[in-house]
Structure 1
Amino acid sequence: MSRDVLATDRLRLRELDERRDSAFVLELLTDPSFLRHIGDRGVRDLDSARDYIRNGPRASYAQHGFGLWMVQARASGEALGLCGLLQRDSLPAPDIGYAFLPRHWSRGYAREACAAVRDHALGALKLPRLLAIVAPDNAASIRVLEHLGLRFERTFVNEAGEALHLYALDAAAAPRG
């Protein structure tokens, strides 16, 4: 069963459910834009999508109290993407992560969902710092992060050998809303 976490004027963010959301996760994680900008998560079929939800987001909810959440349109209930917080072993603070299906791009959903997650992270969860990682050539995501108040901190090479940009926002400097 999934529970609601956040809501905005147009969006509802809720916990992922293995049975209910596996088809959407399969579609999103195998989309060419996801594979290009985020990477291959090994999801190939409904069983591996259920495993991804169970061992990724749901395990994170239990361990950290946050994770990636389903983003749905409030009016229609249509699944649009994922947005939430990730605690990576390779980073010193949680980072905001998001992905939307291309048919939902350029409508402000990423900005709206990410702003709600930022405010939740720094407000309700009282995180002192929020990070984000992004491929240097992902200009649209960089614009979203900068709109949220995150600023470029440095370039680093991840465990897969990819150069990524690290963005950061300290709670004291965070815009709200």
Structure 2
Amino acid sequence: MKCSDDFAQLETFLLETPRLKVSRLAIEDAPFMLELLNEPAFIRNIGDKKVRTIADTEKFIQKALTPGFEFLGSGMYKVELKDSAERLGLLTLIKRDTLSDVDIGYAFLERHWRNGYALEATTALLHHARDVYGLKRILGVTVPENIPSSRVLEKMGLKLEVKVKFAEDRPECNLYAIDFAP
């Protein structure tokens, strides 16, 4: 894994793995994000963001790019193949009001499932968050029915801690966590 320590580069480029490049989400990623946010699996497992047009998607991305995150490095990142720059999925590293610690999240276009991309990208981001940003604990959340995502979290080293319900109109979720030794 190669990481960038320069803040100017960090604004766009974050890290790469043998097959993947992870960089900050940008407005020009709107067509990709529109597709991802409207896939049935995304809506079923994460939720309907009510984003239906490119203009809606650009607003969604702009909101995600707005300053005010809790720490350097938090935000939304696209995952793409290094060789072709084809966009595969999205990673998030966010401190949410509803959680005690930073949450790592991910979503990939269904046509790219079962290639190991989610595990490769999330593991790289997890190590980056620990080694570069100094995070001591990271959480992951998934609905119990999303067994593939649960497996990714477990392979990353996160352990199931508790079931949580964030809102009455939302399903119960599994909360996973990993603590890094001091």
Structure 1's 166 and 44: CA in aligned 2 closer, same or farther, altered over 3 A?
A: same
CA RMSD in angstroms, aligned pairs only: 1.7
Residue 61 of structure 1, CA deviation:
7.5
1:4 to 13, 25, 38: 13
- The aligned runs of 1:50-129 (5 Å cut-off) are 50-56=58-64, 58-59=65-66, 64-65=71-72, 66-129=74-137
Tell me how far apart the structure 2 counterparts of residues 170 and 50 of structure 1 sit (CA, whole Å): 35
User: 2:24 — aligned with what?
Assistant: 15
Structure 1: runs of 5+ lacking an equivalent? none
Residue 44 of structure 1, CA deviation:
1.0
Give the secondary-structure state (helix, strand or coil) at the position aligned to 2:66: helix
Give the secondary-structure state (helix, strand or coil) at the position aligned to 1:172: coil
Residue 84 of structure 1, CA deviation:
2.7
**Structure ranking higher in helix proportion:** 1
1:69-102: CA deviations, max 9, x gaps?
0000001110000013122100011111000000
2:39 matches 1:31 = yes
Residue 60 of structure 1, CA deviation:
5.6
The amino acid of 1:162's aligned partner reads P
State the TM-score, normalized to the length of structure 1. Answer: 0.92
Stretches (4+) displaced over 2 A? 59-65
Tell me how far apart the structure 2 counterparts of residues 61 and 169 of structure 1 sit (CA, whole Å): 25
The answer (yes or no) to whether the contact 1:71–1:82 under 8 Å persists in 2 is yes
Equivalenced residue count is: 171
Tell me how far apart the structure 2 counterparts of residues 32 and 6 of structure 1 sit (CA, whole Å): 29
1:156 to 164, 167, 170: 164
The answer (yes or no) to whether the contact 2:69–2:95 under 8 Å persists in 1 is no
Structure 2: runs of 5+ lacking an equivalent? 1-10
The amino acid of 1:106's aligned partner reads R
1:82-141: CA deviations, max 9, x gaps?
013122100011111000000000000000000011001111010110000000011100
The answer (yes or no) to whether the contact 1:60–1:67 under 8 Å persists in 2 is no
Give the secondary-structure state (helix, strand or coil) at the position aligned to 1:75: coil
